[in-house]
Amino acid sequence: MTRKKEGGFTLIEILIAILILGMVLSTAYVSYTGSFRIIRASESDSEIYNMGRTTMERMMRDLGAIVPYRGRYEMKARRNDRGREGFAALSFTAAVNLALGEKDGSPGVSTVEYFMADDRERDGLVLLRADERRREKEGGAGPGQGFVLCDRVHSVDFRFFDAAGRGHETWDSASDADAQQKNRAPTAIDIELKLVNSGDPAHPHTFMTRVYLPVSRVERE
């Protein structure tokens, strides 16, 4: 009597099926992880570019509102002195609203200051903005603590141009050393903002613009 052969898979066939399944799952995993990585990178880049654009717009708006106070323009730029690239602070008088967090948003002549600070939570620095209303009786200590305007900052750099079109690495309207700066504001300022690029630290995200200031020399009587 002949015994009928039972159906089923051999061990080799099972191993081959497992191998094929593993290859399919591996390909799908690589494809999905690659897609998620691209999505995360795109979201990060979008956030960076939005933050950079907003920061540049705020600085352009403030600098475009620069005005004299008590018969002279006031602007002072201070470069980093700790071996870092760019500037540490920039202050000037402008006809802008009061500090961003205050309820009273009425316009007036204020001292606006941008300054850098260490970022304790992320890579890079933070750029802060502060302003304080100028009053006839000066008794304050200048702009306050400030609000974070931008984080993950690699550096902020400025280049100033006088009425003759000459470029300057810094600017101090209270200095007697340069007649082109004394009691004056620059006619144009180049701004370069660099934000940390986590994917390629050697090549930070760079934003550049030039602001033309409708200013002229002011002489005090």
What are the respective helix, strand and coil percentages of the chain, to the nearest 5? 25, 35, 45
Rounded distance, CA 209 to CA 40, Å? 28
pLDDT one-digit tens code per residue, 193-218: 999 988 888 999 999 999 999 775 55
In this structure, is residue 32 part of a structural domain?
Answer: no
Q: Is the pTM of this model over 0.75?
A: no
- Biggest distance spanned by C-alpha atoms of the chain: 128
Least confident of 70-74, 84-88, 109-113, 204-208: 84-88
What local confidence, expressed as pLDDT, does residue 7 receive?
58
Do 116 and 130 touch, CB atoms closer than 8 A? Answer: no
Which residue in the block uniquely carries the two structure tokens 């620095």?
125
pLDDT one-digit tens code per residue, 41-69: 566 678 889 999 999 999 999 999 999 98
In this structure, is residue 38 part of a structural domain?
Answer: no
In this structure, is residue 204 part of a structural domain?
Answer: yes
Tally of domains within the chain = 1
CA 209 → CA 7, 53, 55, 206, distances in Å? 76, 10, 12, 10
Range of the domain at 152: 46-212
pLDDT one-digit tens code per residue, 75-98: 999 988 766 778 999 999 999 765
Nearest CA to 151 out of 110, 112, 193, 179 is that of 193
Rounded distance, CA 63 to CA 211, Å? 7
In this structure, is residue 179 part of a structural domain?
Answer: yes
